[in-house]
């Protein structure tokens, strides 16, 4: 296998005196979806925020495209192509859908901007229908589509997406996950998806299991026993 586009080693992150992640090693390669799975409080969001730079790490190394970025600010990581799509707060609520996408596309090559926005509309037709609508008047599911759409039109090579299924109806979760898979296949973007919904099994190439800030497993989905994932979640797999 080729060298990973994103490599994390010995990452430890804390909130005050509470250790949230303990010596985590993590890789993501080009053209793959990596699912970070585990129960509430496992450290999934903390890992994404540490990689994106919005949380300062206590120890460890983070390499992106061969660059050591653990001391870089968020914007510098973002300009290099590493983008966090958080659970909330990744849209401009008082701007229209169209303006949100136009802001998101600024770091992409000028010659590609119209095509990228059209591609986002193709994936999420409801955004095109509502392109003049103010973002904060969209439904919760539509706002999540817009947040992912901003990632699509950006220059992101790696999209770190945090719990996109929260609050969505089951059918919409399935549709969103299928769209994320299509984005990876169409564009070659790497997607790192922190997710509690077990349906992530159906789209991820690899699963990275976290529990209480430590690694439980890091396996290709095809090689991973569903019983291990079931035990991690302490729930049934649908």
Tokens describing residue 78 = 């973002």
Does 104 reside within a domain? no
Residue among 172, 157, 166, 175 nearest 194 (CA): 166
Please tell me the distance from the alpha carbon of residue 35 to that of residue 182, in angstroms, as a whole number.
Answer: 15
Residue 141 has pLDDT above 80, yes or no: yes
Q: Residue 21 is part of which domain span?
A: 1-81+158-164+190-238
Does 115 reside within a domain? no
Does 170 reside within a domain? no
Task: Judge contact between 45 and 15, C-beta under 8 A.
Answer: no
Does 8 reside within a domain? yes
Percentage of residues of the chain with pLDDT beyond 70: 97
Residue among 223, 188, 220, 189 nearest 207 (CA): 220
Does 181 reside within a domain? no
Residue 183 has pLDDT above 50, yes or no: yes
Give the pLDDT score at 233: 64
Does 206 reside within a domain? yes
Please tell me the distance from the alpha carbon of residue 213 to that of residue 24, in angstroms, as a whole number.
Answer: 8
Does 59 reside within a domain? yes
Q: Average per-residue pLDDT in the chain?
A: 91
* Number of domains forming the structure of the chain: 1
Query: Average of pLDDT values for 202-214?
Result: 93
Does 20 reside within a domain? yes
CATH number at residue 74: 3.40.50.300
């Amino acid at each position: 296998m080729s060298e990973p586009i994103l490599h994390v080693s010995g990452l430890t992150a804390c909130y005050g005196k509470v250790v949230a992640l303990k010596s985590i090693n993590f890789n993501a390669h080009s053209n793959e979806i990596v699912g970070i799975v585990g129960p509430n409080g496992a450290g999934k969001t903390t890992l994404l925020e540490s990689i994106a730079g919005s949380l300062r790490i206590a120890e460890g190394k983070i390499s992106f495209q061969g660059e050591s970025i653990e001391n870089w600010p968020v914007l510098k990581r973002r300009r290099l192509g590493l983008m966090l799509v958080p659970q909330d707060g990744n849209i401009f609520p008082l701007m229209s859908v169209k303006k949100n996408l136009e802001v998101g596309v600024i770091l992409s090559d000028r010659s590609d901007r119209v095509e990228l926005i059209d591609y986002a509309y193709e994936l999420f037709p409801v955004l095109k229908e509502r392109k003049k609508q103010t973002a904060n008047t969209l439904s919760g599911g539509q706002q999540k589509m817009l947040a992912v759409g901003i990632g699509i039109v950006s220059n992101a090579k790696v999209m770190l997406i945090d719990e996109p299924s929260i609050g969505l109806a089951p059918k919409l979760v399935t549709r969103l996950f299928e769209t994320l898979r299509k984005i990876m296949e169409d564009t070659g973007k790497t997607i790192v998806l922190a997710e509690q919904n077990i349906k992530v099994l159906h789209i991820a190439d690899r699963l990275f299991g976290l529990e209480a800030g430590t690694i439980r497993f890091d396996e290709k989905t095809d090689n991973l026993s569903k019983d291990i994932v079931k035990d991690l979640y302490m729930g049934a797999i649908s």
